[in-house]
Amino acid sequence: MGLSRVPRFIPRRPSLERFRRQLASVDAMPQLCLLGILAGILTGTVMVVFRLLLEFGALFFIPGDNPEAFETLSPAFRAALPLVAVTLIGIWLWPQPSRALKMGIGHVIERLAYHQGKMPLRNWINQWWVGVISVIGGLSAGREGPAIHLGSAASSWIGSRLRLPHNSLRVLVACGTAAGISASFNTPIAGVIFAMEVVMMEYTIAGFLPVILAATMGALVSWAVYGAEPAFSVPPLQLNSLLDLPWIVLTALVVGMLAGGFVRLSRGHPAIVRIPFALRLAIIGLLTGAVAWWYPQVQGIGYDSLEQMLNGPMALDVLLVLAVGKLALTGLCMAGGVPVGVIGPMLVSGAAVGAVMGMIGGTLLPSVVTTPDLYAVLGMAAMMGAALQAPLAALLALLELTRNSAIMLPGMLAVVVAVLTARQLCRCQGFFLSSLNQQGLHPLQQPLMQALSRVAVPAVMERNLVRTPRVIDHDRAKALLDSKPTWLVIIQEGKDKPPLAMKAAHLARVLHDDAWLAEHEQIDLEEVPGQRLDLAPVHLEATLSEAYDTLNESGLDALYVEHTTAPMIRKISGIITREAIENYYRRKR
């Protein structure tokens, strides 16, 4: 008696083409999570390299190799540094077109909303130069905006290099954003919420999981080089008395007003825009240098000053300059066309406003303001929430930076009051949205287009089709139907004529009509009774929102999906109709 052969399980070999098809679906969470891990590692590495470049630049002129130690320089030298910085930035950017000058988080949001997350290489290179020069050159600038742009573009490059569907590029950009914030502050949770609240402007499970993994990996890469401590240390604080709450509300009102003023200043008044670019740069350099002559604390990111005011007393005049002067200089840089990072300076100025209010309250109303040291921490979170209109990201940054849940209650009150003040009294839509709206861009999409942007064309298109010339004989017609296609794609004569689509059932019907066949020795598919659809092309990597836009722009009801199989060779992969897109949306609601 012979042994029966047991069939072996042979796993399917990995295929990049299959991976792309899986990513086209909204439910491709395992694949997106893998991309999130890759994006987090790459972004964390980019962030470490960026910080190393800052430290390397400080080697040449700042004692102690600390890019924040401008106080150790002579007044004349530190006042001259901003002029050198704007000169280097101007020489680099002057010959380039205006589209190449867009950088930072606002640029990331624009590319995500209008260009499927594809990031130009020239802008990415410019961000390295401007990001490094602005910080070590003594301008009031942060490193988080450049980090997010650099990380998001690097993550998007993964998808572009692998020719992944555009819906996965959106997730990769969010992963780069979260990992950039996470690696910069060592705050992975705040990075996740910042990416979803400020950049993606939506919350979905499929989006959250890869973004969480990216933030985790970004933090781990940063920890491996710089340790697990936050960007600056915060002493243990708590609210000792409810009597502080009215003063906290007043502090948040002041912070909200300053945040709204900062956003308005950063937009740039038309009178500023009309000034020649070189003169604008000179004004920025001169004003920054003039303030830095007496108050070097306004230069760079300011985390050293932030740590000092959180852990001990600081002179009132220095606090006032940091509260108003640093915020104004940062806004002036943005208004003048120098795209510096703004999150770090926001935190420093917010903390300074809170420290001033805590000092005033502790002096005038000692029985009411019982914890004046707490106000600097609350001001920091309130400024971030109000200027960005991102309350959740600000609160989670507060929690992770302080590692102290005891201050969350007053923190929530301060952030909400500051956000409402900036939004209602100052008509502030948020720093990044305001800058985009000023350019006539509106990245807040309609719910339909948001839902369709999460899915790529391959998830919905009909693949069961055959290509055919317009005129065929009876045998060729029967052969076409042997594979039981759903659609016939009719290739018309002439390169300028788009193909037509016809249901294969219409051809099958006439092949069973002997009288019709007797009258037609050759079958002209344009004469076959039935509906034919004019087609326009859409790329295989496109999202359903791109396909829907193409349908609306062309006035058609169907598209043929094409992709490049070899240089100059395009293949039709499927048919997608307006009805299929709308049915998909209704089914997934």
Take residue 187 and report the two structure tokens written for it: 């705050």
Q: Rounded distance, CA 472 to CA 480, Å?
A: 10
Parallel, antiparallel or unpaired: strands 487-491 and 465-469: parallel
Parallel, antiparallel or unpaired: strands 522-524 and 487-491: unpaired
Q: Rounded distance, CA 335 to CA 275, Å?
A: 11
Kindly calculate the radius of gyration of the chain based on its CA atoms and give it in whole angstroms.
29
Q: Quick one: DSSP state of residue 12?
A: P
The answer on 397 and 472 residing in a single domain is no
Helix pair 474-481, 504-511: axis angle to 10 deg:
130
Q: At which residue do the structure tokens 């007043």 appear?
A: 250
The answer on 371 and 275 residing in a single domain is yes
Q: At which residue do the structure tokens 């240089």 appear?
A: 567
The answer on 461 and 387 residing in a single domain is no
Domain of residue 351: give its range.
Answer: 18-445
Q: Rounded distance, CA 257 to CA 249, Å?
A: 12
The candidate with the shortest Cα–Cα distance to 155, out of 144, 166, 171, is: 171
CB 285 within 8 A of CB 82: yes
What CA–CA distances, in Å, run from 501 to 183, 229, 528? 51, 61, 12
* CATH code of the domain containing 512: 3.10.580.10
What's residue 495's pLDDT? 61
Which of helix, strand or coil describes residue 218?
helix
Measure the CA dihedral 386/435/329/385, to 10°. 10
> In 10 A of CB 1, how many CB atoms?
3
What CA–CA distances, in Å, run from 165 to 17, 140, 449, 491? 11, 39, 16, 26
The answer on 295 and 275 residing in a single domain is yes
Q: Rounded distance, CA 202 to CA 8, Å?
A: 45
What's residue 7's pLDDT? 46
Q: What is the DSSP string of 137-151?
A: TT-B-BSHHHHHHHH
The answer on 209 and 132 residing in a single domain is yes
In a domain, 67, yes or no: yes
Q: Which of 405, 424, 445 is the last residue of a domain?
A: 445
Parallel, antiparallel or unpaired: strands 536-539 and 558-566: parallel
| 440 contacts: CB under 8 Å, gap ≥ 6 | none
* CATH code of the domain containing 228: 1.10.3080.10
What's residue 131's pLDDT? 95
Q: Which of 445, 472, 498 is the last residue of a domain?
A: 445
Q: Rounded distance, CA 356 to CA 499, Å?
A: 70
The answer on 379 and 286 residing in a single domain is yes
Q: Greatest CA separation found in the chain?
A: 104
In a domain, 3, yes or no: no
Q: Which of 393, 422, 445 is the last residue of a domain?
A: 445
Parallel, antiparallel or unpaired: strands 500-503 and 487-491: antiparallel
- Number of folded domains in the chain? 2
Parallel, antiparallel or unpaired: strands 522-524 and 471-473: antiparallel
CB 458 within 8 A of CB 24: yes
The answer on 473 and 424 residing in a single domain is no
Q: Rounded distance, CA 305 to CA 282, Å?
A: 26
Give the H or E element holding residue 466.
strand 465-469
Parallel, antiparallel or unpaired: strands 558-566 and 569-577: antiparallel
The answer on 235 and 257 residing in a single domain is yes
In a domain, 4, yes or no: no
The answer on 441 and 484 residing in a single domain is no
Q: Rounded distance, CA 40 to CA 326, Å?
A: 32
CB 371 within 8 A of CB 393: no
- Per-residue pLDDT of the chain (589 residues), as tens digits, is 344 444 444 445 457 878 877 787 767 888 899 999 999 999 999 999 999 999 998 888 888 767 888 999 999 999 999 999 999 999 999 999 988 999 999 899 888 878 888 999 999 999 999 999 999 999 999 988 999 999 999 999 999 888 888 888 889 999 999 999 999 888 999 999 999 888 887 777 767 899 999 999 999 999 999 988 877 778 888 888 888 999 999 999 999 999 999 999 998 777 787 899 999 999 999 999 999 999 999 999 999 899 889 888 899 999 999 999 999 999 999 999 899 999 999 999 999 999 999 999 999 988 888 888 899 999 999 999 999 999 999 999 999 988 888 899 999 999 999 999 999 998 888 888 766 665 555 544 556 677 788 888 888 898 899 999 988 888 888 888 888 899 999 887 766 678 889 999 998 998 888 888 888 888 888 888 888 888 999 998 898 888 988 998 888 889 999 877 666 667 888 899 888 888 887 776 6
| 566 contacts: CB under 8 Å, gap ≥ 6 | none
The answer on 288 and 265 residing in a single domain is yes
Q: Rounded distance, CA 357 to CA 510, Å?
A: 85
In a domain, 13, yes or no: no
Take residue 233 and report the two structure tokens written for it: 């240390």
CB 191 within 8 A of CB 155: no
Take residue 482 and report the two structure tokens written for it: 């042997």
Q: Rounded distance, CA 46 to CA 294, Å?
A: 35
